[in-house]
Structure formats: C-alpha cells, structure tokens
Amino acid sequence: MPDAVTVYRRALASRPDASVVICSVGALSNLEDLLRSAPDDISPLPGAELIRQKVRQTVIMGGGFPRTANPETNIKLDPAAAVTVVNEWPGPVLWQGYEVGYALITGTELLATPTTNPVRRAFELRPHHGRPALEVGKPSHDQAAVLAAVRGPQPDLWTAVEKGRVVIDSDGHTHWNTDWAKRHRYLKIQGHPAALTATIGELMSRPPKLEAAKRGDARPPLPSPPPSRSPSASRTPRTPHRNPARLPTSSSSSRTIRDTANSPATATPCSRRQTWIGSTPRASDSPTSMPPRCARPPAGNS
C-alpha cells in the first residue's frame, strides 16, 4: 500500500491546475509531509510548488475559534506539524473549529433508515455519553467540514470570518489574530444551528443512489462533486522524527517551542489519527476549544 504522501502527490499531479480541494479531518502530519516532499518520478515539483499549482482550497477541521482553552484533538496529535502547516501552507485555508461540530448533533435521523444502512450501523456502535449515538446523536465535526469542502461556505448556513490569520503555538493552542491578514478564514454557523444540523442529518440518511433508484425513492440523489475536485488522501501514522530546535514557530505565539515528543499534550505515535474524507471516530473525547471563560462542555469530543 502506498504511503499518504505518494497518494497525495499522484492525486495532485493528475489533476488540472487550481482544481483540487483537500479536506483534512485529522492530525496535520501528512499535510506537513506533503509540504516537505521532494520532486520525484510522479512530479518534478517539490511539495510546496505542487500544492500551489494544483490546490484551489484546503479545508481543515481543527483548533477552535476565536481561541481554544485547551488544545483541540487534531492539533494536539501533532502540534509541530500544525505549526508548519499554519505558517507555510501555500494557498487559502478554510478552518473549522471544534465549536462548530459540537453544536451540530446528528445521528437520530438514521433510526428511520434500514438496519442494513452502514452509516446507521456506525452510529449504533459508536457510544456517546454512555449510549449508542444512534439513540442520542453525537457532534458532527467531520461531516460539517466535508460539507463545507464540497459545497463551499454557503451564506445561508455559514459565516466565513476573514481579514486575519490562525496562530498555533507549540502546545497546540489556536487563536485568531487580526494583526495582519493571511489567506485564512474560519467558519461560524450562520444563525441557529438547526438548519445546518438538518442538512447534515438529511444527507447522512439518504439511501445510496442505486438503492434509491430501485425503490423509486422520490428524493433526488446526492449531487456529484465537481469533476475538478479530488478526494483527500488517507493518512498513515508515522513516528516523530523532528529536531525540536528546528521546529517552526508561530510569530505571535507567547510560548516557545519545546520537545513535543515529551509533551503531555502530544500523542504517542500509536494514537496518531488517520485522515479521511468523511466522518471518522476521534482519538480523544476531551472538549478542548471552548473560549477560556466559558464553562467546559460535557465530555465527548465527537
């Protein structure tokens, strides 16, 4: 099986310029590796130039905005990679923080679907607050990020905050800084979460196209993604190999880089998540992105 960087480079090299949308819903380790990748027989371009030429938009589910009280799971799994990506990624990045998915509770809609539905089965197996997520629902972090990646930040569902930049320190804390503008935006829910929740729930509960056609389902099939877009590559866990003295820093961070391999906020290699397009279980259930003066939400990060 090829590693994630090979999959990324092949996918990007095969697509037209400025046509690819990457959606990351896990740790940013593989995006850093892609950024650092060298020319090869797949493409004569180094990683940064390949991204700049082929990627139109990158959507990242990670952090929390306008700031986190504690490191969010996807960032704390590899803070050094997150610092690299936030500082050096050569293209526009649309960030979706923890607080978005936490407000979107979906899953009970699947009770009306056949018991053979694989999405329903996933929610049956996934516990949330001690009960199956099929019965009580669960936050929709990754589904919301994929929706934003495929359809863009639709103004009736989202507000995209601009004219600033995301800052990540070596411990994995994130915040939105308005000292100067980069090609960063972050998403806020437009209005009440109910509309966005209903959209995600309805999409999750739709039958597959073929099954719907056989049954004569009156609902229209899911729209196909634009042909110019490419799915994100799956992620491959890897062992930390960075020299802490060479780690990039965020210019406005008040913390200094330290050996993240020995940090309590850094996951061990075996707990590094993989990145997929779509919804995946989370490695940690610690709510981490509420503003410092807000009460911490109940345990359960996904």
pLDDT of residue 11: 98
41, two tokens: 């027989």
**What pLDDT sits at residue 1?**
87
Q: Residue 219 has what pLDDT?
A: 53
**What's the pLDDT score for residue 215?**
66
> What is the pairing mode between strands 127-128 and 55-61?
unpaired
How many Cβ atoms from other residues are within 10 Å of residue 130's Cβ?
7
* pLDDT band for position 37 (cuts 50, 70, 90): very high
Higher-confidence position of 212 and 98: 98
Q: For residue 155, with 0-12 CB atoms within 10 Å meaning exposed, 13-18 middle and 19 or more buried, which class applies? A: exposed
Q: What is the pLDDT of residues 230-268, one digit of tens each?
A: 444 444 444 444 443 333 433 333 333 333 333 333 333
Dump pLDDT digits (tens) for 136-169. 999 999 999 999 999 999 999 999 999 999 999 9
- Of 161, 255, 274, 144, residue with least CA distance to 204: 144
Among the listed residues 141, 112, 107, the one whose alpha carbon sits nearest the alpha carbon of residue 124: 107
Average model confidence (pLDDT) across the chain: 80
DSSP label of 64: -
Amino acid at 33: D
Task: Kindly list the domain boundaries of the chain, sorted by start residue.
Answer: 4-104+140-271
